[in-house]
Amino acid sequence: MKVLHNKKYLYLPLRILLIFNLTTIFLFVFGPIDWNLKNEWIVVSYLLINLTFLYFGYTVGIKYYKQNQKTELFEKNKKTIYIILFLGLFWFLPTVYLRLGGTNFDLNEIFERMSGSFLNSAIGYNKKNENFEIGNNSVLQFFDFFFSTFNYALFPISILYFKKLNKLIKIIIIAIFLIECLSWIIIGTNKGIIDMFLIFFLVGCVVDPQLFNFNIKKLLILILSISLILFFFFTAVLSRFGVIENTDILNNLDLNVLGNPLKNSSIYLDMNIGVKFAIMQFTSYLTQGYYNLGVALNEPFIWTYGFGNSWMGIFIWERFTGDNLLANTYLGQMEKNHGIDPKIAWHSIYTWLASDFTFFGVPIFIFFVGYFFARSWLDTIFKRTIF
């Protein structure tokens, strides 16, 4: 198919990623929040360096990709595909169980939390944080480390081959998708809903290479999807601050919720208080990781033995050694020295990786991320390689 060799299509995932990153960097510098960072331009330079390494890694991945390999058809890999789907489905409910708290499985409580979260997502969000403090089922968490690969593969593969699956599997997949979305709503977390949207969009681009060529119908669907996500996001944010129960709270806010007031620009001064609050929270959600990166750049490097770049790695190290590895990560140091809670605040991937690779080594790591990102995308569109 000619469109598969179109340069825009080959670079589609990278373009989406770069547009998103550059937009958030713009918001970080020129947006309504004054982060009051002395090393702001050092942070921006570091971000751009990493994006440059990502771009060149992706470009190298495309340049040295061999397209003369045979396409792996569904029929050829049917057995493997069903094994992956089975393992993903097998571990799906334990994953949801852990996400909801992992302390009990009371259906009445789950339904109450679900109905309450639709009206006020702060209920589920606060409950999630309580469960985080208490600690989940350590045995399930350990197995989750090994089975999570199949959970992540479940939705892309099931969407990609949906038409080829039998009727029973299709019904199960639809039910699983609904449970997945509801579970994120129950805990009042935006990220899972956004992830599902991105999975559908990118897999849709694989199924139909013309999908990113928008017409009126596709544009309307995209606008509707983004509108629903933004509605859920703003509703969640307002409920966390108690605005839904008491609208007077909004009028009494000094917009200093995160310690970083709105800039005294005429663009923002004349805005409605609710609009200001929404814009500030949306900007904070997208850019606070950059602020935390700026703080982390001033902290000393303490090696975390290759386990400090993820919650699961930290969990495994601490369970087997008894050491408080989190305290040695940049996230732990920022919590101790600056009060930035790693369980609540967003941190960029660069800060996470730096605990193991140093900030100097992260761009090299990102180069290989770009390289394998390109290989993964090209394997998918050219060869339909399920891996």
pLDDT higher at 43 or 99: 43
Q: What is the pTM of this model?
A: 0.79
pLDDT at 271 exceeding the cut of 70:
no
pLDDT of residue 187: 74
Q: Which of 5-9, 145-149, 251-255, 323-327 has the lowest mean pLDDT?
A: 251-255
Q: Return d(Cα 46, Cα 293) in angstroms, integer.
A: 10
Nearest to residue 73, comparing CAs of 164, 193, 185, 176?
A: 164
Q: What is the mean pLDDT of the chain?
A: 80
Task: In whole angstroms, give the CA distance from residue 295 to residue 259.
Answer: 14
Rounded Cα–Cα distance for residues 172 and 259 (Å): 46
Query: What is the pLDDT at residue 206?
Result: 82
DSSP alpha helices (H): ranges in 64-91? 74-90
Top pLDDT among 24 and 165 is at 24
Residue 98 has pLDDT above 80, yes or no: no
Asked if the model's pLDDT at residue 293 lies above 90, the reply is yes
Is residue 249 predicted with pLDDT exceeding 60? no
Give the best-scoring range by mean pLDDT among 8-12, 243-247, 268-272, 329-333: 329-333
Query: Averaged over 263-290, what is the pLDDT?
Result: 74
Compute the average pLDDT of residues 26-44.
88
For residue 265, the model assigns a pLDDT of 57
Tally: H helices and E strands in the chain: 17, 0
At residue 105 the predicted structure's pLDDT band, cuts being 50, 70 and 90, is: low
DSSP, collapsed to helix, strand or coil, labels residue 262 as strand
Quick one: CA dihedral 191, 180, 202, 368, positive or negative?
positive
Return the structure tokens found at 194.
């956004």
Mean pLDDT (whole number) for 194-217: 78
Query: pLDDT band at residue 134, thresholds of 50, 70 and 90?
Result: very low
At 116, the pLDDT band (50, 70, 90 cuts) reads: low
Predicted local distance difference test score (pLDDT) of residue 256 = 45
Asked if residues 117 and 124 have their Cβ atoms less than 8 Å apart, the reply is: yes
pLDDT greater than 90 at residue 260: no
Q: Average of pLDDT values for 220-239?
A: 74
Q: Which of 21-30, 75-84, 90-99, 185-194 has the highest mean pLDDT?
A: 21-30
- Residue 361: its pLDDT value, please? 97
